[in-house]
Amino acid sequence: MKFGVVVFPGSNCDRDMQDALQNDLGHEVIMLWHKDRDLSMFSTEDCIILPGGFSYGDYLRCGAIARFSPMMQSVIEFANKGGKVLGVCNGFQILCEAHLLPGALLRNSNQQFICKNVYLKGEGSDKALKIPIAHGEGRYHADDATLDQLEANGQVIYRYCDENGNVNEASNHNGASRNIAGIRNAAGNVFGMMPHPERACTAALGNIDGRIVLETLLMKQLVSA
């Protein structure tokens, strides 16, 4: 499986993602400049990643300008053909702005930037994974009808929880609707999450839970979707 990591002006997690995929997980990674359009080197079995950061300075709304970049037009076409796309943090915001995922990311409920380790767990799993977050606009929001549909279709992939795997208000650090930390689209080929798995992929940092996230989502669920 080959990965493309899009670099926008203001991206600051693109090299972290490259290092995690290439050096920790052993996959081929191609860096993609936001002004380019060519994705011909990728098949629908590969994956394009939109990394975290502050694309275009987060002017207007987070991800609102990046959504119109030349490369994103190709990414949208790639996703609509069944290609696999993952957005992390700012990448999640861009996917929502591009309407590849439903809902929106709003200002954190405490109106502050949050940067710390939190716990999340996948739907159907009792295992709590420790994954860093770093965002000011990470509060996932959608209307009740959309949220109900996401849950009914199994599109909620991760929820914030405590270290014991309990999903509760205390573990919902940004005020996200129904503790949602990550979702996928109905077709199962586009995924977005606010926590940063790429920052928890090496023992040198004292945490490899991020490997579980990337391996589960990209090498299993997205591949088989």
Predicted local confidence at residue 100, as pLDDT = 98
pLDDT the model gives residue 225: 35
**pLDDT value for 224:** 36
pLDDT tens sequence across 52-94 = 999 999 988 899 999 999 999 999 999 999 999 999 999 999 9
Q: How many domains does the chain have?
A: 1
**Weakly modelled stretches of the chain, pLDDT under 70:** 219-225
Q: Are 201 and 20 in contact (CB under 8 A)?
A: yes
pLDDT value of position 219: 64
Average pLDDT, the chain: 94
What confidence score (pLDDT) does residue 223 get? 37
- Look at the alpha carbons of 80, 83, 89, 91 in this order and tell me if their dihedral is positive or negative: negative
Residue 187 has φ and ψ, to the nearest 5°, of -75, -20
The token duo for 14 is 């693109």
Give residues with Cβ within 8 angstroms of 198, minimum separation 6: 13, 16, 17, 19, 20, 21, 51, 88, 210, 214
Q: Which of 202, 191, 200, 184 is nearest to 131 (CA)?
A: 200
The answer to whether the beta carbons of residues 93 and 102 sit under 8 Å apart is no
> So what's the pLDDT on residue 208?
96
pTM above 0.85, yes or no: yes
Give the model's pLDDT for residue 36: 97
- The CATH number for 198's domain is 3.40.50.880
> How far is it, in rounded angstroms, from Cα 35 to Cα 58?
17
Residues identified as active-site: 89, 196, 198
Instruction: Give the domain range for residue 185.
Output: 2-224
